[in-house]
A and B are shown apart, each in its own frame.
Chain A
Amino acid sequence: MKKDLKIIFTGPVGAGKTTAINAISDTDTVSTNESSTDELRYRKNTTTVAMDYGIINMVDSKRVHLYGTPGQERFDFMWDILIQGGMGLVLLVDNARPDPLEDMQFFLQRFGDFIQRTRVAIGVTRMDISSTPRLNEYQSLLNDQTRNIPLFEVDARARQDVSILVQSLLHSLDHQKR
């Protein structure tokens, strides 16, 4: 029986969602990019307005579908659409943004219901650009969560890093209490 999986990548603008999906997808990714508006242009030339999509091909024709949400809140109607049927969430947080800890809290809260039903893994990106806050500061905030959430430093361009992040999510799903 063919059975596919769906994983959603989310996070603020510029956190590396599109890059991460590109890094790990076995196929050319589909992106819906538009030119950035003025306030975003200093960070990146284009931004995702609907979704990114990639695939990991498994044996026996099984596939993992990777969906990336738009980062901007004005497209948040897409977030609820994209999580439908999803098995887990990968949250990427850009450490070089003004308040990445608040960003993490925001997305954990915004996707709270989905995370409670599934699992989340968090990757902190661009720590080479900004080394603070440190991971232990993120961990301190996660102490309020009822679950032990995988949290790693991630280079979204590095397939190995993204792979470890996704694997941690999948293994968490595999061992979750039922």
Chain B
Amino acid sequence: MAGVPPTSTGYQIARHLAEKDIQAFLGSTPDIDTNSAQQQANIRYDPDSFFQGKLSQITAMMKQKGQAVRLQFSDEEFIILYPDEEMAQINMSESRLGTLSAAPISPSGLSFTFCDDLFSPDDGAADSFMRIDALMWKTALWASQGRIPYETDLHKTVALDRWPNLTRLLLLPNTLEIAALWAEQPHSLIETAAKLKIPQRYVFGFYSAVFALGLANTGETMKTLDYIPIAADAGKKQLASASWFSNWIPFFRSKNG
């Protein structure tokens, strides 16, 4: 939006649309009081009741069997998962996929059959293709809407087993900050939001997405981040520089997307 004044109608509309896009994935629930059982209940959901859970189960079976699988939603709407290519062929619009992912799915709402792997991205002109991990990530965000799976302990520390392939996944606000924090130092969900001074739903949504990819580690078994002591003068220099990273990273983000 370079050169567009922040007060212009165009800017306001663009900002409104961006916020609506974010809300579709992260909801609008305000921060909760962790002492309130009711508020704690409001931020939980059951992934298995949504397409997210079905996709996770079917993908696991697909990997075990090593065969492509066709997920049928209706006579005309389907998704084919290809294990060798790790790709999904999607025969519906993005908005329809979002609608299907955001609402609980009935047992009769989805069937699946294993099929031959005839992956050919050029043939399905009307279909879109997405990496399976990107599909799992996105469907988890749509289902979560800033909530966390039922069994999640809000106060247990979370670490990343490894970084998600974030250049090929939907990036939402503060995704990189949360990932870096959990890669470097495990924090609980509540601590994470407080430390980064961001809405809790951003943390909850990110947790739900990495949980869907099996990368969220709450087992205290993350890598021991052995801190290598460095020379005193070098350490002083490093600390001084690191202290202002936080100040300019937002500017970097706004400049580079």
Q: Which residues of A contact B (CB under 8 A)?
A: 3, 5, 24, 26, 56, 58-59, 62, 64, 87, 116-118, 123, 134-135, 139, 142, 145-155, 159-161, 163-168, 170-178
Chain B residues contacting A58 (CB-CB under 8 Å) are: 248, 251-252, 255
Assess the A176–B252 pair: CB atoms within 8 A: no
8 Å CB contact of B253 from A116, A167, A174: A167
Additional 5 contacts, C-beta under 8 A, given A56-B252, A116-B228: A3-B244, A26-B255, A151-B163, A167-B249, A175-B177
Assess the A172–B167 pair: CB atoms within 8 A: no
Say if the beta carbon of B14 comes within 8 Å of chain A. Answer: no
Chain B residues contacting A178 (CB-CB under 8 Å) are: 227, 239, 242
Which 10 pairs between the two chains have the least Cβ-Cβ distance?
Answer: A171-B180, A163-B256, A148-B183, A174-B245, A175-B184, A152-B167, A116-B228, A150-B163, A161-B167, A175-B181
Say if the beta carbon of B197 comes within 8 Å of chain A. Answer: no
Assess the A153–B165 pair: CB atoms within 8 A: yes
Shortest beta-carbon distance from A98 to chain B in Å: 22
Instruction: Compute how far the CA of A165 lies from the CA of B166 in the bound complex, rounded to whole angstroms.
Output: 9
A-B contact pairs, 22 of them (CB 8 A): A3-B240, A26-B255, A56-B256, A59-B248, A59-B251, A118-B238, A147-B184, A148-B160, A148-B184, A148-B222, A150-B180, A153-B167, A164-B167, A165-B167, A167-B176, A171-B179, A171-B181, A172-B183, A173-B242, A175-B183, A176-B242, A178-B242
Assess the B163–A152 pair: CB atoms within 8 A: yes
Instruction: Compute how far the CA of A121 lies from the CA of B229 in the bound complex, rounded to whole angstroms.
Output: 20
Assess the A164–B171 pair: CB atoms within 8 A: yes
Nearest neighbor of B240 in chain A, beta-carbon distance: A3
Q: How many A-B residue pairs have CB under 8 A?
A: 131
Say if the beta carbon of B226 comes within 8 Å of chain A. Answer: yes
Instruction: Compute how far the CA of A9 lies from the CA of B161 in the bound complex, rounded to whole angstroms.
Output: 25
Given contacts A116-B228, A147-B225, contact A177 B185 (CB under 8 A): yes
Q: Which residues of B contact A (CB under 8 A)?
A: 86, 159-163, 165-168, 171, 176-177, 179-181, 183-185, 222-228, 230, 234, 238-242, 244-246, 248-249, 251-253, 255-257
Nearest neighbor of A6 in chain B, beta-carbon distance: B241
Instruction: Compute how far the CA of A133 lies from the CA of B109 in the bound complex, rounded to whole angstroms.
Output: 37
Given contacts A163-B257, A177-B185, A177-B225, contact A168 B176 (CB under 8 A): yes
Chain A residues contacting B242 (CB-CB under 8 Å) are: 173-174, 176, 178
Chain B residues contacting A62 (CB-CB under 8 Å) are: 248
8 Å CB contact of A146 from B181, B223, B257: B223
Instruction: Compute how far the CA of A71 lies from the CA of B153 in the bound complex, rounded to whole angstroms.
Output: 47
Instruction: Compute how far the CA of A59 lies from the CA of B248 in the bound complex, rounded to whole angstroms.
Output: 8
Assess the A168–B160 pair: CB atoms within 8 A: no
Instruction: Compute how far the CA of A139 lies from the CA of B161 in the bound complex, rounded to whole angstroms.
Output: 10
